[in-house]
Structure 1
Amino acid sequence: MKGPLVTTDQLLEWSRENPEGLAIIDCRYDLQDHLLGFFAYRESHIPGAVYCQLNQDLAAKPGEQTGRHPLPSLDELEHAMGKLGVTMEKKVVVYDDKGGAFAGRLWWVLRYLGHPQVYLLDGGIPKWIAEEKPLKEGIEEGKGHVFKSFPRQSLLVTKEEILEKLQSPLMLLVDARAPERYKGEVEPIDPVAGHIPGAKNLFYQWNLDEHGCFRPKEELLELYSSVIGEVEPSQVVFYCGSGVTSCLNLIAMEYLELYGARLYVGSWSEWCRTPHLPKVFKE
């Protein structure tokens, strides 16, 4: 399968052919119980996988007017990737048990850092288990490396840039949260319900079938065309609650060979905490 996805069979083949040239990273996580993913990893994981924790490895400490999962500094990200055993020469496969809802953040971070070979395991560990592929207990440590990034700043969008282009035809905002959160009907996590003015809605779970695998390309192309229309991919900006699940939409864009879409990492959790920014409340 052409990237950014890799099948379970392909991963098994890679792990047998050249395990030294492969980094497998387990990203299971739960927003309500931050240790749940680690406990699940320790109980059973794909052989060779190390564990990456969203709050510790992929997000900085939030401030009063930041999102819930702000992007760490480049030094912090390079240190985290080196600790996980990632090098630019290795293929990297990331997975979780939510169709990529959390692993997608690591996929995006590595693309942002300039890594050329990062893949999301399609179907994640549930598919791996269903196919009775090998599993391992305990904790595995990455072989520490010095990771040097080549950041692609063009993949990032700040709230200042969004505010500047809010009425511009040169930017299309797409909200990846559930429709009821986008519409402002409910807000289970952040202090204010609603969305950024002008944003369209494309729920990240619409990328997946009932088994947590990516839907066929033809179906996804129809879905994305209905939202994006004729807008150039490089003018599309995705956001969600905190710059995590929207990464799954960015993976889908690349899967559809629509390259150049960007991420607003701060997302709604940053936007709604900033007093002067315009907001659309319950429709």
Structure 2
Amino acid sequence: MSNVPLIVTTEWLAKRLDDPKLRLLDATTFLKQPENGGYYDVWSGKEAYEKGHIPGAVYADLLEELSDPDAPYKFTVPPRELFVNKISDLGVGDDTYVVVYDQGFATVGAPIIASDWASRLAWQLNYEGFDNVAVLDGGFPKWQEEGRPVTTETGSYPKATFTGKRRPEFLATKEDVKNAINDENVILVNSLTEADFNGETDTYARSGHIPGSVNVFFGDFSNPETKELYDDEALRESFEKVGALDPNKKVITYCGSGIAATWNALILNKLGQHNVAMYDGSMTEWTADPALPLDKVEK
């Protein structure tokens, strides 16, 4: 199958579980904000995968195996060779198509309905030149709620050949963001909560937002009852009001460490805005450099 949708339903996936060209990837990762504040804790979702997953799925470890092990920040894009070797081992190659899902919604204890771990892996595949990838709307929780099959049997696929070419324009660096602050042709989109954007939290080394950026919270796009994305008209409203759907503008999304920002990037792509880059270092990298500016919203 070619040209899969960017986002697919559980029904769509259920009809294709036995397709030999399907590669189903469980990208579950967990994040929790410490009760006393400060930087969040993250851990691999491999144990959750082993306790139950969609039949046929293999576990794709974003934290331990699909990030740069030598980078100063978690979830930094890995060297291409590392990524290609690992994703090939998982069976993703030129004659396959991929559906990615995750098992939890953004945080532990205060769930946000957004499959941003899945969108992170989908974004990495796009960045490395692989287009035939979709994110499962509603993820594993929706799949379970519908009574669809779940297994503890470990999935596997034959090693594949991955030849896509890296697309550097999908990734924004710290320098790109610095240049964008005073560039009227670039929209910087902060994907975090309003409190984070305003500078009311202490998650990062410094609080606030990158000057000139606008706030579009990544957790506002799905219905908490159905776990499905709202329709395009509703999705469009959030981005139109900040100018991010202007075809003449470039958009750079950022968040805490390049996860939630990929969900916003995915929604933008769904709405037809394809000139989108994601700032991988995001607030973790930006706030660690005291020379870089931050703004706060005074109330």
In the alignment, structure 1 residue 203 sits paired with structure 2 residue 217: yes
After TM superposition, list the pairs within 5 Å mapping 1:159-170 onto structure 2: 159-170=174-185
Show the counterpart of 1:265: 280
CA distance in 2 between partners of 1:52 and 1:234 (Å): 34
What secondary structure does 2:49 align onto? helix
CA shift, 1:140, in A, is 2.3
CA distance in 2 between partners of 1:38 and 1:230 (Å): 37
CA distance in 2 between partners of 1:262 and 1:113 (Å): 13
Please list every run of 5 or more consecutive structure 1 residues that lacks an aligned counterpart in the other structure.
none
The 8 Å contact of residues 241 and 269 in structure 1, kept in 2 or not, is answered as yes
Query: Which one of the candidate residues 31, 36, 43 is aligned to 1:34?
Result: 43
CA distance in 2 between partners of 1:230 and 1:213 (Å): 22
CA distance in 1 between partners of 2:124 and 2:244 (Å): 27
Show the counterpart of 1:48: 56
CA shift, 1:63, in A, is 4.4
Show the counterpart of 2:68: 60
Q: C-alpha deviations, 1:203-251, integer Å up to 9, x for none? A: 1101211133211111011111112256337511000000111111111
Counterpart of 1:24 in structure 2: which amino acid?
L
Show the counterpart of 1:69: 75
Show the counterpart of 1:4: 6
Judged with a 3 Å threshold, the aligned counterparts in structure 2 of structure 1 residues 230 and 38 are, in CA distance, closer, same or farther, namely closer
Tell me how many residue pairs correspond in the alignment.
277
In the alignment, structure 1 residue 192 sits paired with structure 2 residue 192: no
CA distance in 2 between partners of 1:223 and 1:201 (Å): 9
Give the number of the structure with larger relative contact order, counting CA–CA contacts within 8 Å between residues 6 or more apart. Answer: 1
| Worse overlay, 255-264 or 221-230 | 221-230
RMSD of Structure 2 on Structure 1 (CA): 1.9
Q: C-alpha deviations, 1:144-183, integer Å up to 9, x for none? A: 2232231111111111122123111021100001111111
What secondary structure does 1:94 align onto? strand
What secondary structure does 2:67 align onto? coil
The 8 Å contact of residues 62 and 70 in structure 1, kept in 2 or not, is answered as no
CA shift, 1:258, in A, is 1.9
The 8 Å contact of residues 24 and 49 in structure 1, kept in 2 or not, is answered as yes
After TM superposition, list the pairs within 5 Å mapping 1:146-225 onto structure 2: 146-188=161-203, 190-210=204-224, 211-225=226-240
CA shift, 1:75, in A, is 0.7
Greater per-residue helix proportion: 1
TM-score, scaled to structure 2: 0.87
CA shift, 1:59, in A, is 1.6
